[in-house]
């Protein structure tokens, strides 16, 4: 078993990892920038160390500082969480070269899946369905035009070296492709240090379905079911649920088997997700693999009863999985709302100091948060405040519990997107499960019958 874990992250995920380590009786070391000196994850850790100023390149992306901190504090393992360095092969390799266990997959897994065109080629060879497109990145718009002419418009331009919605642009004509290619290239270069772009067929109104993978170092791979992640804005997920309201048992088994095959094809270890697009005819296509724990892992934990973060820690320590696929069962329905610090009307960031904080509770409610009373939401980092998860025996029960929980949630001093979530949870299209990746775009442009604001909504909007 691991002796001490340094958590190379901040906020909600750092707190979540600490709780998993504490349950396994593993001490933790928190790293923080000067902007996070009083942050909750810093207060909760067994030990803590400042690794630099607010700028992420000098703190949370500073590989030498993080590795040095781990060695100085006697940690024998590093957990990267999600974001920051979690899918950085150089970081994983630096940890391993320093004798530290990287709590994640092998370096070659990270590098392979981080190279999106190469990942497509590997999946095609393994028999995993992929969308028509290029098999290598390019910086030549003429090459992209040639591919688009072959597969047909609309097409999607994607950064070859990354994900998370950065470097993505849709083109519906040769003229539009010429106009947006340079923009996608610049975004990819800025976000990932690589401006190469690959071209992929664009599906109109698909659903975004991802499967949770858990694997050990003994060639055991299984899936923990799917998550419906179609409610998103600018390719960023807002609300997720498990199971998907649309998949049949047969579809679930088929997609799950393909997800496992995809992970086995690269010899994957630890936790990760295989992401698919599902079209209106029921065909599904691999889009990418995330080689880390996902923000929305909590809803899978609720319907399976399996602690995914603990599973990743134990897998990194060399422990074999205690389950086989036949042991995994699914019960009930879980929904997660990502609460972020932003103005609910303009959707602009809303940093500041939290006052009057009161998290909801009750049967079936879980709040994963990195904040408390007087916590500061700084301008430098992701605006995620917390994740509210509601569990019920049915989807309808989970939705109703989430409505109650959000109406109770009090966060003053900043503005949040709680009112937006409450509106979605009363929308007829969402309630019937008629959603897709462009659902929220359309929802935000049509007139909405807004119910009378709850006490929590009035508090948030007027803050």
Catalytic residues: 292
In angstroms, rounded to a whole number, what is the distance separating the alpha carbons of residues 367 and 364?
10
Element (H, E) at 347: none
Question: How does 69-104 read in b/e, with b if 16+ C-beta sit within 10 Å?
Answer: bbeebebbbbbbbbbbbbbbbebbbbbeeeebbbbb
Residues 6+ apart with CB under 8 A from 32: 10, 39, 41, 42, 48, 49, 50, 51, 59
C-beta of residue 273 within 8 angstroms of C-beta of residue 290: yes
Question: Tokens in use for 372?
Answer: 């408390």
197 vs 185: CA distance, rounded Å: 6
* 309/292 Cα distance (integer angstroms): 10
Residue with tokens 């901190």: 69
Residues 87 and 109 sit within 8 Å (Cβ to Cβ)? no
Backbone angles phi and psi of 49, in degrees to 5:
-150, 135
Q: In 3D, which of 12, 11, 8, 13 has the Cα closest to residue 29?
A: 8
In the beta sheet, which residues pair with residue 240?
336
Distance CA 290, CA 269 (A): 12
Tell which residue, 329, 328, 322, 315, has the closest CA to residue 268: 315
Task: With beta carbons less than 8 A apart as the criterion, state whether 168 and 157 touch.
Answer: yes
d(CA 353, CA 373): 9
Contact between 314 and 306 under an 8 Å Cβ cutoff? The reply is no
Beta-sheet pairing, 207-215 with 270-278: antiparallel
Contact (CB, 8 A) for 375 and 383: no
Say if CB 240 and CB 313 are below 8 A apart: no
The answer to whether the beta carbons of residues 198 and 134 sit under 8 Å apart is: yes
């Amino acid at each position: 078993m691991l002796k001490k874990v340094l958590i190379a992250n901040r906020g909600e995920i750092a707190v979540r990892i600490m709780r998993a380590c504490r349950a396994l009786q593993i001490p933790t070391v928190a790293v923080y920038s000067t902007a996070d000196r009083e942050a909750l994850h810093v207060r909760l850790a067994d030990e803590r160390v400042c690794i630099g100023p607010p700028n992420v390149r000098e703190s949370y992306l500073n590989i030498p500082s993080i590795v040095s901190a781990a060695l100085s504090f006697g940690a024998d393992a590093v957990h990267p969480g999600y974001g920051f360095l979690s899918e950085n092969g150089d970081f994983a390799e630096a940890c391993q070269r320093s004798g530290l266990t990287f709590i994640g997959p092998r370096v070659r897994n990270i590098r392979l899946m981080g190279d999106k065109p190469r990942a497509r080629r590997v999946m095609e060879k393994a028999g995993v369905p992929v969308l028509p497109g290029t098999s290598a990145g390019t910086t030549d718009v003429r090459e992209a035009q040639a591919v688009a002419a072959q597969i047909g418009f609309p097409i999607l331009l994607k950064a070859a070296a990354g994900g998370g919605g950065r470097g993505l642009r849709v083109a519906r004509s040769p003229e539009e492709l010429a106009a947006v290619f340079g923009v996608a290239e610049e975004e990819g270069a800025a976000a990932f240090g690589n401006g190469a772009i690959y071209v992929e067929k664009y599906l109109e109104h698909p659903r975004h379905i991802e499967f949770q993978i858990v694997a050990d170092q003994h060639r055991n791979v299984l899936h923990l079911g799917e998550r419906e992640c179609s409610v998103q804005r600018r390719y960023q997920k807002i609300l997720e649920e498990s199971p998907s309201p649309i998949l049949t048992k047969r579809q679930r088994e088929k997609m799950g088997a393909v997800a496992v095959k995809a992970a086995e094809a690269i010899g994957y270890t630890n936790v990760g997700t295989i992401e698919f697009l599902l079209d209106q005819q029921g065909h599904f296509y691999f889009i990418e693999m995330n080689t880390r724990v996902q923000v929305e892992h909590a809803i899978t934990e609720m319907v399976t009863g399996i602690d995914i973060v603990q599973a990743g820690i134990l897998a990194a320590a060399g422990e074999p999985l205690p389950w086989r696929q036949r042991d995994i069962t699914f019960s009930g329905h879980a929904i997660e709302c990502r609460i972020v610090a932003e103005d609910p009307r303009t959707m602009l960031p809303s940093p500041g100091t939290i006052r009057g904080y009161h998290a909801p509770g009750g049967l079936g409610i879980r709040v994963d948060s990195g904040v408390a009373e007087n916590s500061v939401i700084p301008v430098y980092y992701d605006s995620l405040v917390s994740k509210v998860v509601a569990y019920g025996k049915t989807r309808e029960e989970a939705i109703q519990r989430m409505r109650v929980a959000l109406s109770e949630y009090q966060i003053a001093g900043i503005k949040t997107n709680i009112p937006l979530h409450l509106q979605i949870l009363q929308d007829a299209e969402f309630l019937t499960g008629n959603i897709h990746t462009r659902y929220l775009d359309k929802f935000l442009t049509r007139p909405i019958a807004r119910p009378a604001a709850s006490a929590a909504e009035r508090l948030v909007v007027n803050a």
